Amino acid sequence: MEDVKGQTDQKWFYTDTVKDHFFKPRNILKTQEEVDNYKEDGVGIVGSPACGDMMKIWIKVDKKEDKISDCKFQTFGCASAIASTSMLTVIVTENGGMKIEDALKLRPQDIMNRLEGLPPRKVHCSVLGDKALRSAINNYFKNSDQQNRIIPEGAKVVDKILKITDKDIEEAVLEGASTFEAVQKKTKIGIHDKSCIPEVKKLIEFYKKKYFGE
């Protein structure tokens, strides 16, 4: 059977690896006691429980080697968010831990590859853990007086009239909008401020390449 766009049923299903990490998530803190007893070097949080998607990540750092020695998480999120972040914690801690410089270069695509794929509409879930990890690393930099290594995560206003940001464009692409017309339909960007259209198109291509390798 095919869906309305002609895609096969396979697009709707989770891989065995995704299901394994959802039903048996690695490195998850399950109780408040575990949270209270965990002595982290950095913590990052993204999302909001009000909208249903929220991610919190704790990291411990081997300061001599400048690598992540341990990584834990909690989430309010779907199966994809849980599985993606579980796999992320495995990636950054396996083989003795990942160098912080390499951890900052991780992309959601790297996580999805290890999960053997996610349904297209669930790709954005892999971004939660990725963003929370960067936030935790920035928090570690702050706590360890390494302000020169902090990477700003602020949003830039692209559409000056409707105050639409590059983060809004990023979210639209992650939710499946792959053309300017599709992004405009989701965000209304460029309807009044037409001067921003060239920049919007460049950002769409940037995020497509960043997350999907296109």
- Active-site annotation, residues: 51, 125
Q: Rounded to an integer, what distance in angstroms lies between the CA atom of residue 131 and that of residue 164?
A: 20
C-alpha distances in angstroms, 154 versus 42, 98, 105, 187? 19, 25, 18, 19
Question: Shortest CA distance to 123 belongs to which of 65, 83, 94?
Answer: 83
Half-sphere exposure of 37 (CA within 13 A, CB side): 6
* Two tokens, residue 184: 């405009």
Secondary structure (3-state) at 1: coil
Place of tokens 């989701």: 186
Q: Are 208 and 173 in contact (CB under 8 A)?
A: yes
Coil, strand or helix: which one is 50?
coil
User: Which residues have CB under 8 Å from 206's CB, separation 6+?
Assistant: none
Helix (H, G, I), strand (E, B) or coil at 75: strand
Residues 6+ apart with CB under 8 A from 104: 134, 137, 151
